[in-house]
Amino acid sequence: MEECTIITEETTDYMDYLNPCNKNQTAKVLERFFYVSNGRDYISVIPDEAERITKLPTLDEVKEDTNRVVTYAKEIILNADKYKDMDIEESVLKQYACNIDPLLDKIIAINIADILSQNKKPQNKKQLKNVWVKSLEELKTDWDRELEAIPSVQNTSYEVDTTNLQVGMVVKNYKELCELLHEKPLKSGNNSHKAQQKRWARYFSMEKGRGRSIVILDIYDEPLPADDKRKAGNRNIYLKYIETILLKYMYYKKGQVCYATRNQLWSILGMINSNYKKIPLHALQVEVEYSNVTKWQLNNFYMRCNSRLNSILFTALNNLSNRSLIDYQIQTMIVVPSTDKKNTLSRHYVADDDEIGRILAVERKVLNNMGLESKNHAACTMRLNEFYNKVNEILFDMYGWERKYERIKIIFNEADIQEAITKNEYELQMLYLNELVIGSIDKNAQTVSDNRMKKALIEYDEYVENWKEDNWGKVPALKDVEEIFTYPKYYVDIQRKLSQKFLSIKYEKKQEEKRKQYDKELDDIFANLGVE
């Protein structure tokens, strides 16, 4: 390759003069070279104007703009010294180097600035071509290095876009999940893949389904902390309240063992009130305030609550277990109906291994028949009641069992939980925890509604584009597009009302006080009948 001649004695870094936020940077850099290479001062004829990128260029636009700019750039770079006593022709500069596609303008400007900053001027077109191609290759190499570095950044701080995920969704495989999350598939087992899984776990929970499928169980309203220490008991706002109440409850029970179902523990801990799952929909709709509650809305409420309450409860139990304050077991209970004529209560007993095996076989059969991957899948798709009803029907037909359920057996050492708290402290903790739980569940309702609306708007934009291709006339309003699902108009308000009805202890106490006042007023009326 022939020698290139020095442009100036002092290096000029043209990269420093680029402003990626402004228009016509290619024209700016060529104008600067035209004057600086000849040691001349100048006043720019290219105004500083902010750029707005509204679309990507088409292939034809790229070719046309590139040919136009490169032809002019070659002339300026190779022959600038011939015009040392002349000013640049403003009209020609603007004709060839201005008003090109914004993205292409930035790319060409960076490419030319890189060539000119090398401090050596090509003598002919061949040299310029070699330098130009080399510059492009180096820029591409730098770009590729940055792309390769992106996964390591994603592993730590990059947010996960869960817009395309839905609770209960069954994803075909890992690759498809990556596509939904707009992320690059990584080799299974390596550090990058492990870090990716750990990062995802902050945004949603999932479990393995049949084959290579993946079931989305929950999408969090807020990402979990990157360094989640809740299992150690120091990051969960619920733990200290739950532990205090639970330990005090066991202390009052005396002995070393206590038994309770999940619903009973939720009630003991003050997370629900006595209405929870006790009022059927038709009875609820009789009340004016809840007359517009639908079956779907009530099921959605219980689905969200069960998931959140379970998570809170078992985080606390596991924390107490890790500290060797308790041990607990999930026991499968079988209910056998009474066979005598004295209307005695049904008999409840702990299932043995053989009976548990028979129950598992029935449950698996029902899951398959319902097209479900797991009981978690049934729960997050609001079909858990349907699942258990079918299981209990089959168990009754096959074995005469009325139903089966689960309870929690908690074993503790009384001496280790005698750190007494007063009854008032117990009630205060219970009420405060109740408010925390309701706040969390209501916030979740708002978030899932907002996220669904964002996704609906994206789907609507896609729908409109398809509509424009296939139809003439007015674009349909969002409310007219039945295929796009959004939560009902008053979904969040109704979910909050349901929280008050089924979770709030304060609400329940206020209603009880109202009933007592109403009864007192009736008593006064009847007591004074006939008295003037």
458 vs 163: CA distance, rounded Å: 10
What is the DSSP secondary structure assignment for residue 50, as one 8-state letter? B
Task: Please identify every stretch of the chain with a pLDDT value under 50, giving residue numbers as ranges.
Answer: 1-10, 149-157, 228-236, 420-424, 471, 478-479, 481-482, 522, 525-532
Cβ-contact 387, 364 below 8 angstroms: no
Q: What is the pLDDT of residue 328?
A: 94
Burial 352-389 (b: 16+ CB within 10 A, else e): eeebeeebeebbeebbeeeebbbbbbbbbbbbbeebbe
Q: How far apart are CA 11 and CA 275, in angstroms?
A: 80
* Predicted confidence (pLDDT) per residue in 331-372, tens digit: 999 999 877 666 667 889 999 999 999 999 999 999 999 999
CA-CA-CA-CA torsion for 102, 103, 106, 110, nearest 10 degrees? Answer: -160
The span from the CA of 70 to the CA of 84, in Å, is: 21
Helix 102-116 to helix 125-154 angle (10° resolution) is 120
State pTM to two decimals.
0.50
Element containing residue 461 per DSSP (H, E): helix 423-470
pLDDT of residue 102: 81
Q: What is the dihedral of CA 358, 360, 361, 362, to 10 degrees?
A: 90
pLDDT value of residue 341: 63
Phi, psi values for residue 398, rounded to 5°: -85, -40
Rounded Cα distance between 57 and 353, Å, is: 68
Summarised one tens digit per residue, pLDDT across range 371-391 is 999 998 988 888 888 999 999
Q: In this predicted structure, what is the pLDDT of residue 154?
A: 41
The end-to-end CA distance of the chain, in Å, is 122
- What is the number of residues in the chain? 532
Supply φ then ψ for residue 405, to 5 degrees.
-150, 175
Query: What is the predicted pLDDT for the residue at 174?
Result: 93
Q: What is the DSSP string of 272-284?
A: S-TTTTTS-HHHH
Helix runs in 80-190, H state only: 90-97, 102-116, 125-154, 174-180
